[in-house]
Each structure stands twice: as C-alpha cells, then as structure tokens.
Chains A and B, each alone.
Chain A
Amino acid sequence: MRDRTLWTWHIGAGVVILVLLGLHMAIMHLDATLGIFGTEGAEPVEWESVVTRAQSLFFTVTYVLLLGAALYHGFYGLRNILLELNPGAGLRRTINVGLSLAGLALFAFGTWAALAAPGAATMAGG
C-alpha cells in the first residue's frame, strides 16, 4: 500500500483516538471532577465498574475500535521512526512484517479480552 494512503489512515486513526481515548481518560482519570458514566458511585477500576462497562455494547464496540485505531497509529508511527534511520532493504522488510504481526497479535488478544469479559462477569454473578 502506498505511504500516502497509510499516512492518511494514520491521521484518521489519530482523530478516532482523540475522541475515544479522550473519553476513556475522562472516565478513568478525571472521575473526581467529572464523574461521568456512573463513575461517581465507585472507583472506575473496581470490579463493579468494570462489569458495568464490559456488559455495555457501547463500551465493547468503542473499546475494540480504540484498540485497532491506537495500535495502527502507534505501530505506524514507530515504523516511521525506524525507517527514518535508513535501514537496508532486508531490515526494512523485517520492520514492516514484524510491526504488522505485533499489531495484529495485540489486536487479536485485546479483542478476545473485550469479548470474553461479559461472560466472565456473568459467571462471577456480575
């Protein structure tokens, strides 16, 4: 794929991250001042809060979307930094393949966790 296309996706992913990670940061770390999405009753990292989010379709979908956008944005950024150091053709190919595989593996693992979490909550009586 041409670099211009990949770069456009990089910027697009940045916009998605800005919205979704901004929301995630507000929920998880600005809870004392904002208290949004019911976090005013319990700490965002308490199991009850985790269950509430895991069983919400909105949170599951946006989590997977954020996961994909952030992994793409991050690994593409890392690729650019590494390729700027002018590696040889073989090393460049290794970087491209290695980072793509690492990104895909993390995406698969994170998606599994997001999809398995509601079941774990139900089994635990959540």
Chain B
Amino acid sequence: MTSRGHPNRLGIRGWVGGGRWGFERYLYTLHRLTGLGLLGYFAMHIFVTSARALGPESWEQAMGVVSGPLFRIGEYLVFAAFAFHAVNGIRLALIELGFAVGPPIEPVYPYATSVGRQRRLARAVVMIAAVVALWGGLDFFVLQ
C-alpha cells in the first residue's frame, strides 16, 4: 500500500525505534522480521521438498543436505517464528476487524485509550507464542 500524504520518513530505521513507541510497535517489527524469515524459508522449502517428485533417492539426498544440528536449530527457529507470527496475526486481524478495541466511550480524564485496552491482548500474544515455542522446543530437542 502506498502512504499518500504520510511519507515513511524513517524507512527501515523506524522498525527498531522511533521515539516513544509502545510495546505493540515492537511486536510490529517482530511480525515483519518473522514474516520475512518465513517467506525466505518457504521459498527454499518449496525447492527442497520438490525432490519427492523425483523418487526416493532424490528425497533421501535432499534430506541428507538439510540434516544436522545446525539445520535442526534453524528449523526450530522457523517453528518459533511461525508460532509468534500466527498468534500475533490473530491479534492484528481481530483489531483490524474492530474486535478487541472496546466500545466508544466518553473522553473523560484520565483517558482510557484504545491502545491501553489492547495491551492485555498484546501481552497474551507474547505468552501464548512463548508457550507454543516451548512446546515445540520440547518436541524438537527433548522428546525426539
């Protein structure tokens, strides 16, 4: 989407800091970083897993290339990135569709802002993503 009338003056620098930004702004940055990481991995994953179309030898060869502890850690990072991106994506969709922002209220001091209402949801996102990532860690590294 183009930013007509509101140019993005900070560019990519704005991802890491832009003044008095709240917790949600850093979730935004993490959402973008995990999204880019997942897209890069996904493009590679399409090529690697296409080896199944060429038979068992090609498949075993491809799996041999992407095995070992480093790839295991990389796979886990992809899993953790997915956990965060998915849960935070649900939060973003809920807010986008008008849920979780609360009903309109009279502006009486001290003002209850929409962001204040959403903070609990943002905290819940981090906690749920952490639980799923820990579950994945258990499955990846302890129970295998």
Contact = CB atoms under 8 A, between A and B. Distances in A.
Interface of B: 1-3, 7-8, 11-12, 32, 35-36, 38-39, 42-43, 46-47, 49-50, 52-56, 59-60, 63, 75, 79, 82, 86, 89-90, 93, 96, 135-136, 138-140, 143-144
A109 B63 CA distance: 19
Interface residues of A, number: 46
Given A54-B52, A123-B55, A124-B56, 10 more contacts: A7-B1, A29-B75, A32-B139, A33-B138, A47-B60, A74-B38, A77-B32, A85-B11, A112-B50, A113-B49
Question: Main SS of the interface on chain A?
Answer: helix
B2 A74 contact: no
B59 A47 contact: yes
Contact of B8 (A21, A85, A110): A85
Contact of A32 (B49, B54, B56, B143): B143
B144 A32 contact: yes
